[in-house]
Chains A and B, each alone.
Chain A
Amino acid sequence: MSNFLSTLFEYGKCVFGNQSSPSTKPPLIYQFLTGVADFAIFTGRYFMELIKPPYEFKELLKQSYRIGLQSLPLVGITGFIMGLVLTVQTRPTLAEFGAESWLPAMISVSIVREIGPVITALICAGKVGSSIGAELASMRVTEQIDAMEVSGANPFKYIIVTRVLATTLMLPILTVFNDIISMLGSLAGVNIHGDVSFSLFFAQAFAQLSFTDVFPSLIKTIFFGFSIGLIACYKGYNANKGTVGVGEAANSSVVLTSLMVFIIDMLAVQLTSLFIDT
Chain B
Amino acid sequence: MSTETSQHIKLGLFVTIGLLIFAAGIYFIGDAKQLFSRTFSMSAMFNNVNGLQVGNNVRFAGINVGTVENIQIISDTTVQVDMVVDITTQKFIKKDAKAIIGSDGLMGNKILNISAGTVGKPIVENGDMIGTTLPVSFDDMLANLKITTDNASSITNDLADIIANIHSGKGTIGKLFMDTVFAENLDKTIVNVKQGTKGFKQNMDAAQKSFLLRGFFKKKDTDKKSDKK
Is A62 a contact partner of B7 (Cβ separation < 8 A)?
A: yes
CB distance from B102 to the nearest CB of A (A): 17
A64: nearest chain-B partner, CB-CB: B11
Is B7 a contact partner of A173 (Cβ separation < 8 A)?
A: no
CB distance from A210 to the nearest CB of B (A): 6
Is B28 a contact partner of A69 (Cβ separation < 8 A)?
A: no
Q: Which of A208-264 contact B (CB under 8 A)?
A: 209-211, 214, 218
How many angstroms from the CA of A62 to the CA of B7 in the assembled complex? 8
Is A72 a contact partner of B29 (Cβ separation < 8 A)?
A: no
A180: nearest chain-B partner, CB-CB: B21
CB-CB under 8 A for A206 and B21, given A65-B11, A97-B107, A173-B15: no
From A58, A180, A207, B32 is in contact (CB under 8 Å) with A207
CB-CB under 8 A for A173 and B28, given A99-B107, A180-B21, A210-B33: no
CB distance from B143 to the nearest CB of A (A): 26
Chain A contacts for B105, CB-based, 8 A:
99
Q: How many A-B residue pairs have CB under 8 A?
A: 60
B22 at the interface (CB under 8 A from A): yes
Is B32 a contact partner of A206 (Cβ separation < 8 A)?
A: yes
From B19, B26, B55, B107, A214 is in contact (CB under 8 Å) with B26
A202 at the interface (CB under 8 A from B): yes
Is B11 a contact partner of A61 (Cβ separation < 8 A)?
A: yes
How many angstroms from the CA of A173 to the CA of B18 in the assembled complex? 5
Chain B contacts for A61, CB-based, 8 A:
7-8, 11
Chain A contacts for B10, CB-based, 8 A:
65, 69
CB distance from B103 to the nearest CB of A (A): 14
B171 at the interface (CB under 8 A from A): no
From B22, B30, B31, A176 is in contact (CB under 8 Å) with B22
A177 at the interface (CB under 8 A from B): yes
Chain A contacts for B36, CB-based, 8 A:
none
B25 at the interface (CB under 8 A from A): yes
Is A210 a contact partner of B28 (Cβ separation < 8 A)?
A: no
CB distance from B26 to the nearest CB of A (A): 7
Chain A contacts for B32, CB-based, 8 A:
203, 206-207, 209
Interface residue SS majority, chain B: helix
CB distance from B109 to the nearest CB of A (A): 10
A79 at the interface (CB under 8 A from B): no
B14 at the interface (CB under 8 A from A): yes
* Binary flags per residue of A180-222, CB closer than 8 Å to B gives 1, else 0: 1000000000000000000000110011011100100010000
* Binary flags per residue of B136-175, CB closer than 8 Å to A gives 1, else 0: 0000000000000000000000000000000000000000
How many angstroms from the CA of A179 to the CA of B21 in the assembled complex? 10
CB distance from B211 to the nearest CB of A (A): 90
Is B25 a contact partner of A68 (Cβ separation < 8 A)?
A: no
Chain A contacts for B107, CB-based, 8 A:
97, 99
CB distance from A166 to the nearest CB of B (A): 10
Chain B contacts for A214, CB-based, 8 A:
25-26, 29
Chain B contacts for A210, CB-based, 8 A:
29, 33, 55
Chain B contacts for A177, CB-based, 8 A:
17-18, 21
Is B22 a contact partner of A65 (Cβ separation < 8 A)?
A: no
CB distance from A110 to the nearest CB of B (A): 15
Of the candidates B7, B18, B21, B55, the one having the most CB atoms from chain A within 10 angstroms of its own CB is B18
CB distance from A148 to the nearest CB of B (A): 21
How many angstroms from the CA of A202 to the CA of B31 in the assembled complex? 12
Residue contacts A-B, CB under 8 angstroms, 11 given:
A62-B7, A64-B11, A99-B105, A173-B19, A176-B19, A176-B21, A202-B28, A203-B32, A206-B29, A207-B64, A209-B29
